[in-house]
Amino acid sequence: MTSRTLRAVLALPLLLASLTAGAEDRAPTAAERDRIEQVLRGHGFSSWGEIGLDGGIWSVDDAHDAQGRERDIRLTPGEYRLVADDEEDRQATDEEFRRIEAALKRGGFVEITGARLEDGLWEVQDAQGPDKRSYFLVLDRETLRILHRAPRS
């Protein structure tokens, strides 16, 4: 087996996991809700509205901080880490794009078109998978883990 074939075989579980990421929008289970509420309290939020999985990202409406300010919060699935959305939305720099492209290619994607930072997460409008299908992807800003994918028509 060549090293290229071995890398492809080893990347398969990552690819399969990424292709199922964010497959459904739903309310949290009791355990997920407890964990999300624990994280919110840990960040100083005192109350909040509806919580749901939306496009592979936990969304919390109308969260009130210690100063009484209200904002909508997003958390990564799995780690329940707050998504920082304080930076302006923008296109990826050349260096950032190369990093994103390399991560996706390790996961089996073959063609990647553009990446944009939107509300604290990377969005890739068009990434061709090994199945020759085109996908819209949302990636964690720091880890580049695929949080959501949707086939493009």
- pLDDT tens digit string along 87-109? 899 999 999 999 999 999 999 99
Strand partners, 90: 117
The per-residue pLDDT for 1 is 54
What's the rounded Cα separation, in Å, for the pair 3 and 31?
42
User: What is residue 2's predicted lDDT score, i.e. its pLDDT?
Assistant: 53
- pLDDT for 86 equals 77
Angle at 46 between CA 67 and CA 141, to 5 degrees: 85
Give the CA distances from residue 152 to residues 118, 124, 127, 134, 135, in Å, rounded to whole numbers and listed in that order: 18, 11, 9, 5, 5
The pLDDT of residue 87? 83
**39's tokens:** 């994280």
Rounded CA-CA distance 127/140 in Å is 16
- What does the pLDDT average to over 101-119? 95
Give φ, ψ of 145 to 5 degrees.
Answer: -70, 140
User: How many Å apart are CA 44 and CA 31, to the nearest integer?
Assistant: 20
| Tokens linked to 47 | 């109350």
Residue % of the chain over a pLDDT of 70:
85
Q: Can you tell me which residue has the tokens 């496009």?
A: 55
Average pLDDT over residues 34-49: 96
Question: What pLDDT, in 10s, does the model give residues 57-74?
Answer: 999 999 999 899 999 999
Residue 80 predicted with pLDDT over 80: yes
Instruction: Give the pLDDT mean for 70-93.
Output: 91
Residue 27: pLDDT above 80?
Answer: yes
* Dist. CA 138–CA 66, nearest whole Å: 30
Question: Does pLDDT of 21 surpass 90?
Answer: no
pLDDT band at 6 (very low <50, low <70, confident <90, very high): very low
